[in-house]
A = this chain, B = another copy of it.
Amino acid sequence: MSKEPRPEIPRKTVYRLSIYLRCLHRLKTNGIRTVSSDALAKAAGVKSAQLRKDLTYFGQFGTRGLGYDVELLAKMISQLLGTSSLQPVILVGVGNLGAALLSYQGFQQEGFEIIGAFDAATDRLKARNLPRPILSIDALPAFLKEHRVKMAIVAVPAPAAQEVANLLVEHGIAGILNFSPAVLQVPDEVVVNNVNLAIELENLSYFVRA
């Protein structure tokens, strides 16, 4: 993995870059070669001033009156995000949601490969209909030592989540996608992104009733 110095980009900007990348892929699929900042901003659902500001991290780019080169811009964003090559990820917790994530083809399409799946419940270790064998959580440290993985998806129940997070951090995981409702306490240098499906629905519920 290359370690050239990279600009300090705020987290929200990185999110938006991901969205621009998806819009660019769609444009490319539709045979479109250049796009104006207005058109790309509209497709991404942001203001065009915002888009132009976000893209200044790539330095001077785009030609006035012509817009951005779709393929080139997609390539630059993808390199910055680190998804230009397939990224390895592990999954801990293969219950209902974890099993679904394991079967979900969206990750691979977007440049992520779940190279190991772990669970504490031994009856799940030989679960059928899953794309790969489930390993015992005891095998996690050795696995992480052997494979250079930096990211983990945590889909264990809330009471187990902190303990799992501690184990992951101890063995070199630097980024956790947390599907458990637990609030994880991790060292400052570790990044946690939380996806709590019930909280998303609850949030909708509030605004729908307003």
Contacts and interface: CB of A to CB of B under 8 A. Distances in A.
A150 interface: yes
A11 interface: yes
B198 A109 contact: yes
Contacts of A191: 204, 207-208
A30 to B, nearest CB: 11
A101 B101 contact: no
Contacts of A14: 202-203, 206-207
A52 interface: no
Contacts of A99: 100
Interface in A84-116: 87, 89, 96-97, 99-101, 103-107, 109-112
Interface stretch (A132-140, A163-171, A175-183): A175-183
B200 A195 contact: yes
Interface residues of A, number: 65
A205 B151 CA distance: 7
A176 to B, nearest CB: 8
A104 B195 contact: no
Contacts of A96: 100, 103-106
Contacts of A200: 177, 193, 195
A8 to B, nearest CB: 8
A26 B157 CA distance: 13
28 contacts: A6-B210, A15-B199, A19-B183, A19-B199, A22-B181, A45-B183, A45-B185, A81-B202, A83-B202, A83-B205, A87-B201, A96-B103, A96-B106, A97-B106, A100-B104, A107-B201, A109-B198, A110-B201, A110-B202, A111-B198, A150-B209, A151-B201, A151-B205, A151-B208, A175-B204, A191-B204, A191-B207, A195-B200
